[in-house]
């Protein structure tokens, strides 16, 4: 028994740590792709049926995580057709929310941040926004915002309804290949803009195959397979949720703010609200262009940024153009901004009509 020579045995022993290290590395790099690779097999359904499911979706009990990503800075207002929270969804961001909902209209969204967490407690008759870092509880009920409107940023169900309401009549509807969302089979409703001057290629809404609840929205720029913006469930369980999750009373020692302005947007990464002195929307659907007249103060802030942008000839003189694959804005010489998910000629057309 030549058990003395441990040279060889030493090499064998190193096989264990080597195997552990390489499999851990392999699993962490490959596993996400495997998860994505699965497909579903649902019975065929018409686009109209999907639209009606989205529009008639009623609150269900669920728990899951929602991830919202954007590749470019997009003012959420213009993207969603001119309403909803006023704010800019920052460029190339990923936000993750834990969400809970019960069947009676209560909704809770929790965003875990490195400094603590922010929460949105939506109950019939009250909307509280909580920030653990500043110990601030903001009551949004008094702000006059429709209770169910503001949380849509973390609620694919509401966002989908809003998109379908505003855009379905300006779109060609189709049902595209079934996909998996949060590990569940889902239908996909595609809304392709009828207007040719839109920068948006297609908006896709995934609807859970079993419960018919919208679970994902993706916005693709024209000619691109990579979504410019996406909001959807990563994990999702349909089950009754304990009521303790939804209840909120401002704790002792917290600062209570009544009817905070734009607080709903704070659950989004708020890149500076547009809060312009006057904003109106020209056009409808994918064609809609926001026209904002900036106050002199806003203008001076913007002037520095605008200088760095390329110039463009407009009917009102030389302006500055901001452009990304799904959104463009022109700062006109008179301080007015025209912006939308449309091409330059449409913006200039609107500018000419001012």
Among 34, 37, 252, 308, binds another protein (CB under 8 A): 252
Q: How many CA atoms lie within 13 A of 85 on its CB side?
A: 28
- The region that residue 56 occupies, defined by phi over 0 for left and psi between -120 and 50 for alpha, beta otherwise, is alpha
How is residue 133 written in tokens?
A: 């870092």
Give which of 134, 166, 157 is closest to 288, Cα–Cα: 166
User: Hey, how many other C-beta atoms are within 10 angstroms of the C-beta on 114?
Assistant: 6
Number of H helices, E strands in the chain: 6, 20
CB of 289 to another protein, least distance (A): 34
d(CA 293, CA 272): 16
d(CA 101, CA 238): 9
Q: Which residue number, 254 or 354, has a Cβ lying nearer to another protein?
A: 254
Among 49, 69, 132, 145, binds another protein (CB under 8 A): 132
Q: Which residue number, 110 or 267, has a Cβ lying nearer to another protein?
A: 110
Of the candidate spans 5-13, 80-88, 148-156, 306-314, the one that interacts with another protein by CB under 8 A turns out to be 5-13
Q: Which residue number, 21 or 194, has a Cβ lying nearer to another protein?
A: 21
Give which of 208, 228, 156, 183 is closest to 32, Cα–Cα: 183
CB of 130 to another protein, least distance (A): 4
Among 115, 256, 303, 352, binds another protein (CB under 8 A): 115
CB of 217 to another protein, least distance (A): 24
Q: Considering the rule CB under 8 A, would residue 24 count as an interface residue with another protein?
A: yes
Among 127, 137, 160, 206, binds another protein (CB under 8 A): 137
Q: Considering the rule CB under 8 A, would residue 28 count as an interface residue with another protein?
A: yes
- DSSP type of residue 342: B
R_g of the chain computed on alpha carbons: 24
Q: Which residue number, 121 or 322, has a Cβ lying nearer to another protein?
A: 121
d(CA 142, CA 12): 70
Q: Considering the rule CB under 8 A, would residue 333 count as an interface residue with another protein?
A: no
Bridge partner residues of 94 (DSSP): 69
Q: Which residue number, 23 or 210, has a Cβ lying nearer to another protein?
A: 23
- DSSP type of residue 287: G
CB of 14 to another protein, least distance (A): 4
Q: Considering the rule CB under 8 A, would residue 226 count as an interface residue with another protein?
A: no
* Dihedral in degrees, nearest 10, Cα atoms 295, 296, 298, 303: 140
CB of 186 to another protein, least distance (A): 22
Among 14, 194, 196, 303, binds another protein (CB under 8 A): 14
Q: Phi and psi (nearest 5°) for 26?
A: -65, -45
Give which of 64, 98, 57, 103 is closest to 211, Cα–Cα: 57
Q: Considering the rule CB under 8 A, would residue 6 count as an interface residue with another protein?
A: yes
Of the candidate spans 12-20, 145-153, 289-297, 321-329, the one that interacts with another protein by CB under 8 A turns out to be 12-20
- Angle (deg, nearest 10), helices 47-56 and 156-167: 120
Of the candidate spans 21-29, 148-156, 180-188, 317-325, the one that interacts with another protein by CB under 8 A turns out to be 21-29
Q: Considering the rule CB under 8 A, would residue 7 count as an interface residue with another protein?
A: yes
d(CA 140, CA 129): 7
Q: Write out the binding residues for another protein, residues 279-318 only, by CB under 8 A.
A: none
Q: Considering the rule CB under 8 A, would residue 173 count as an interface residue with another protein?
A: no
d(CA 201, CA 223): 6
Q: Considering the rule CB under 8 A, would residue 140 count as an interface residue with another protein?
A: no
Binding site for another protein (CB under 8 A): 1-7, 9-10, 13-14, 16-17, 20-21, 24-25, 28-29, 98, 110, 112, 114-117, 119, 121, 128, 130, 132-133, 135, 137, 242, 244-245, 247-248, 250-254
């Amino acid at each position: 028994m030549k058990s003395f020579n441990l040279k060889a045995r030493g090499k064998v022993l190193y096989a264990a740590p080597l195997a552990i290290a390489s499999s851990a590395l392999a699993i962490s790099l490959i596993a996400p792709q495997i998860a994505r690779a699965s497909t579903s097999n649902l019975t065929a359904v018409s686009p109209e049926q999907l639209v009606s499911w989205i529009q008639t979706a009623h609150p269900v009990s669920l728990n899951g995580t929602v991830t919202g990503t954007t590749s470019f800075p997009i003012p959420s207002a213009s993207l969603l057709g001119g309403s909803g929270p006023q704010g800019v969804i920052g460029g190339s961001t990923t936000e993750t929310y834990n969400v809970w909902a019960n069947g009676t209209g209560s909704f809770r969204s929790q965003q875990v941040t490195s400094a603590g967490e922010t929460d949105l407690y939506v109950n019939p008759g009250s909307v509280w926004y909580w920030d653990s870092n500043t110990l601030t509880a903001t009551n949004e009920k008094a702000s006059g915002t429709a209770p169910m409107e503001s949380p849509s940023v973390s609620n694919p169900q509401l966002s989908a309804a809003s998109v379908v309401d505003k855009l379905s009549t300006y779109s060609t509807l189709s049902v595209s290949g079934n996909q998996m969302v949060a590990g569940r089979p889902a239908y996909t409703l595609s809304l392709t803009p009828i207007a040719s001057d839109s920068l948006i290629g297609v908006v896709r809404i995934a609807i859970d195959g079993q419960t018919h609840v919208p679970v994902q929205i993706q916005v693709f720029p024209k000619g691109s397979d990579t979504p410019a913006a996406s909001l959807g469930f990563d994990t999702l369980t349909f089950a009754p949720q304990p009521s303790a999750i939804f209840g909120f009373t401002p704790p002792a020692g917290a600062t209570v703010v009544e009817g905070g302005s734009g607080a709903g947007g704070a659950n989004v990464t708020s890149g500076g609200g547009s809060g312009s002195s006057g904003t109106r929307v020209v056009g409808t659907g994918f064609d809609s262009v926001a026209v904002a007249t900036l106050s002199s103060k806003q203008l001076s802030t913007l002037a520095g940024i605008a200088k760095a942008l390329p110039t463009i000839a407009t009917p009102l003189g030389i302006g500055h153009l901001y452009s990304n694959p799904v959104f463009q804005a022109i700062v006109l010489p008179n301080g007015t901004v025209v912006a939308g998910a449309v091409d330059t000629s449409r913006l200039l057309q609107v500018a000419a009509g001012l």
